[in-house]
Amino acid sequence: MQEFDLDDIERRMDGALEALRHEFAGLRTGRASPNLLDPVTVDAYGTRMPLNQVGTVGVPEPRLLTVSIWDKSMVKAAEKAIRDAGLGLNPQSDGMLIRIPIPELNEERRRELGKVAGKYAEQARIAVRNVRRDGMDVLKKQEKEGDLSQDDHRLYADEVQAVTDKHIKAIDDMLSAKETEIMRV
């Protein structure tokens, strides 16, 4: 039987926040950052792999990213993955090197990035809610099996909800800050 552990629930929710922080670090605000390509996965050798596992990402200039692909057969797949990642980037390959110029952020691009940030935040909220649901399921099971009284179940459920609310608020605050950063000209 699974034991109810509020610390574990909070740790897993913190993990969702950390993942969101990482995703937001990749959303650019006009400067090239190697983290920008973190969400890109490439169809390589019959499986999906992060771009940084098929090549080396570099930032030779503030407005240019380069990806030095290790296996020549992966260049086209990596180029396609970058183009299809929804980051608004247009890679150009030069042998085994892919150059990715970072375009100026215009108003439309800023709005697009705001939507991407919103999508990332929603994924984090869903992750937090899934952790909450897991915790609530454990409580229900323990009460049903007689290991937990109704009062204790209600008490723990309130604690799980409080932790959930705290994490959802943190996600909303992070999103708000990122949108402000994106829209700043």
Instruction: Indicate the residue among 101, 118, 136 that finishes a domain.
Output: 101
Q: 123 and 154: one domain?
A: yes
Computed over every residue of the chain, the mean pLDDT equals 87
Question: Per-residue pLDDT for 185 more than 70?
Answer: no
In terms of residue numbers, what domain contains 119?
A: 6-24+106-183
Strands 92-94 and 41-44: unpaired
pTM for the model = 0.67
- Residue at token pair 């509020």: 6
The number of CA neighbours under 13 Å toward the Cβ of 26 is 20
Question: Per-residue pLDDT for 104 more than 80?
Answer: no
d(CA 136, CA 4): 9
CATH code where residue 57 lies? 3.30.1360.40
Look at 88 and 75; give whichever has higher pLDDT. 75
Strands 97-101 and 64-69: antiparallel
Find the DSSP H helices in the chain: 6-26, 75-84, 107-144, 150-183
Helix (H, G, I), strand (E, B) or coil at 67: strand
